Chain A
């Protein structure tokens, strides 16, 4: 599977009005190819409306939407939708079709041969961690919520779309399952290089999954930036409140121990009880371990190499100076 097959999506001055209400107000943004662009904001900010205009489930009042330079408003909506993956919070699996038939939906609409469909279904079921021979012929009602959500993602990916639209896809599962689904999805997305536009109201999810995050309010784009920048330099009071007063801590989750300055190594016997940290650890996890120890510092080791000592003031300095990625 080619790594670079994601499409670039460009919204130009897109507006949606319902009577006197403006749901989306001159929204312009570009979702880069092969990346996850998250739309986030409070209820009614227009994020879902914006998403649904990309595959024309909602028609814009004005403006242009381009996928790889092609104006979607000039295409046949059903043909357009077959080229775009679509995942929603309630999943919407077809209850009367087996898991295999559900995943096969779009390939069958596109007229793939039965053998090709079958092979693709099995490939996708394996990709989401299912044993195809065991799961293929089950019905959605026989699956757990998390399993159904996985099938929803597999179904959306079935015809190898260059773009996926996801509307709070992990919103209806419990936090543990959600975290696992997020991690699995990130891996899949990175491996397949699909462009994703992702709607959520959960700022932690946005920071974790988004390559770029668009914060919306009352139909307008307030800030569009990588998550690190959003946390380090919120554009205004609204964004600062939205990302939360703990945004410093959230930033730590995006930084790793390897990126921090360290004190030179100190004899481990003098640091009794100090945790051992790996360079790949997030600073948030490192901080948690350091705070729990008596010494309040951590020894950074890369395998056998003892690199140095991380202290609280190093973390503080990093937060003040680190250029957001």
Chain B
């Protein structure tokens, strides 16, 4: 920190409201794309794993490896192929959501009570109807738990993508570090945390609206 510099310069904040808003928008965009694409990929892989149980091991093993690659290294590795682009950022972000989402989708579907499945079959549901009308709706609570974790993790990770020219709130964090400027650092970090908390809260509300049976009295 520069000596004599206050922790937060409110005049800087006031003059950068527009830019902060724009970065928040970027941050959300990066997150939503990552979680949405991640969910679609995870959903397809989960259906495969549910249909062919012996593939569940290899699928979680592969996505587990992806999950353990340090994010900085992953982005660096991608640059030669996809450059300093949105695509590079999203490839990284999406791959980090897969393990959590697949595990929760599969666990949610497998957690449907056997007698519910038996009754459904006994009444003449086809396998496809059982999946879409019984198993997936009942798995929603567990699936949403996965989406929440994936979203929060992604919101945090998005800041790192500032290093490859994306990054939303990460831009301010980087700026703060480069200029020894605490105001920007705090705006970036705190902004990312607030986004995560708000996103999580919204997802809880969506989940409650989608699963009325879990809280009926």
Contacts and interface: CB of A to CB of B under 8 A. Distances in A.
A and B: interacting chains: yes
Interface of A: 55, 57, 78-82, 86, 88-97, 105-106, 109, 138-142, 152, 155-156, 165
A141 B119 contact: no
A229 B113 CA distance: 40
Given A90-B115, A95-B116, A141-B213, A57 B121 contact: yes
Interface of B: 113, 115-126, 129, 134, 137-138, 211-213, 216-217
Given A139-B216, A141-B213, A142-B217, A93 B119 contact: yes
Contact of B124 (A94, A95, A109): A109
Contacts of B213: 95-97, 139-141
B137 A92 contact: no
Chain B CB count within 10 A is highest, among A78, A95, A97, for A95
Contact of A81 (B122, B216, B217): B122
A314 B64 CA distance: 80
A108 to B, nearest CB: 10
Given A96-B211, A109-B124, A139-B212, 11 more contacts: A55-B122, A80-B124, A81-B122, A82-B124, A88-B118, A90-B115, A91-B119, A141-B213, A142-B216, A142-B217, A156-B123
Contacts of A142: 216-217
8 contacts: A78-B124, A80-B124, A88-B115, A94-B120, A96-B134, A96-B138, A138-B216, A165-B122
Contacts of B212: 139
A140 B129 CA distance: 20
Nearest to B217: A142
Contacts of A86: 119, 122-123
A92 B116 contact: yes
Contacts of B115: 88-92
Chain A CB count within 10 A is highest, among B113, B119, B134, B138, for B119
A53 B215 CA distance: 38
Chain A CB count within 10 A is highest, among B120, B121, B129, B137, for B121
